[in-house]
C-alpha cells in the first residue's frame, strides 16, 4: 500500500487531505489518507480466525480496493473483482491458500488479454457503504453483515465487467478443482 501515492499521481488524482474521501465519499475529515487508515484497521475488528472463517478479512480488502482503484495498479481490479465473484456468486469458501492460486491464474490470463481494462464506475457511484459505515458497526454480527453488504454493494457497481470476472472465476475453478 506504500505505493498508493505513486499510483494516484499516475492516474492524475490530486490528493486532498481534508474533507470526505474523494474516491468513496466516506465521511472522514482528512480525506483519502484517513479512509486508507480506517481500511487498514477494520479488517481486525473481528478475531483473526473468525475473520478468516467469515471471510470478512478478504471481503474488506476487495471492497476497499475496488472503491479506490486509482491508487492501485491496473490489474488490481481484475484480481479483486474475480475474488468477489468467486465468493459472492460461486459460493467459494476463501482461504489464504487460494489467494496465490488466483494470482497465478490471473498472470496467465494477462498474457492473453494484455489490453483488457476493467473500468471503474464513476466516483460517487461505487456503492453507498464505506469504511465508515463498517467501522461504526457495533458487535461481531452487525460487522459481519455490513462487510458482506459492502462487498455486495461494490461488486454490483462493477456490473459492466461481470462477464470478465465470470471468465476469470471459471479459469480459477478449473485450475483448483478440475
DSSP state of 69: G
Report the candidate in 135, 139, 151 with the shortest Cα–Cα distance to residue 66: 151
102 binds Zn ion, rule: CB under 5 A:
no
Can you tell me the distance from the alpha carbon of 75 to that of 2, in angstroms, rounded to the nearest whole number?
A: 17
43 binds Zn ion, rule: CB under 5 A:
no
Smallest gap from Cβ 68 to Zn ion, in A, equals 6
Q: Map the footprint of Zn ion across residues 6-25, applying CB under 5 A.
A: 21, 23-24
69 binds Zn ion, rule: CB under 5 A:
no
26 binds Zn ion, rule: CB under 5 A:
yes
Cell 460461486 appears where?
90
Residue nearest to Zn ion (CB): 21
151 binds Zn ion, rule: CB under 5 A:
no
Which residues are CB-contacts of 46 (< 8 A; sequence separation ≥ 6)?
54, 56, 57, 140, 143, 144
Smallest gap from Cβ 67 to Zn ion, in A, equals 6
**List of residues contacting Zn ion (CB under 5 A):** 21, 23-24, 26, 35
Amino acid at each position: 500500500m506504500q505505493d498508493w501515492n505513486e499510483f494516484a499521481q499516475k492516474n492524475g488524482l490530486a490528493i486532498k487531505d481534508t474533507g470526505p474521501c474523494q474516491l468513496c465519499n466516506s465521511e472522514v475529515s482528512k480525506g483519502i489518507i484517513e479512509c486508507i487508515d480506517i481500511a487498514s484497521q477494520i479488517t481486525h475488528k473481528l478475531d483473526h480466525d473468525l475473520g478468516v472463517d467469515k471471510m470478512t478479512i478478504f471481503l474488506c480488502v476487495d471492497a476497499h480496493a475496488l472503491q479506490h482503484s486509482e491508487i492501485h495498479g491496473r490489474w488490481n481490479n481484475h484480481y479483486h473483482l474475480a475474488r468477489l465473484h468467486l465468493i459472492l456468486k460461486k459460493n467459494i469458501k476463501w482461504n489464504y491458500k487460494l489467494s496465490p492460486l488466483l494470482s497465478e491464474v490471473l498472470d496467465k490470463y494477462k498474457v492473453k488479454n494484455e489490453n483488457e481494462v476493467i473500468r471503474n464506475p464513476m466516483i460517487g457511484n461505487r456503492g453507498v457503504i464505506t469504511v465508515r459505515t463498517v467501522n461504526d458497526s457495533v458487535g461481531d454480527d452487525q460487522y459481519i453483515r455490513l462487510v458482506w453488504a459492502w462487498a455486495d454493494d461494490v461488486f454490483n457497481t462493477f456490473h459492466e465487467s461481470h462477464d470478465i470476472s465470470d471468465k476469470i472465476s471459471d479459469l480459477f475453478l478449473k485450475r483448483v478443482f478440475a
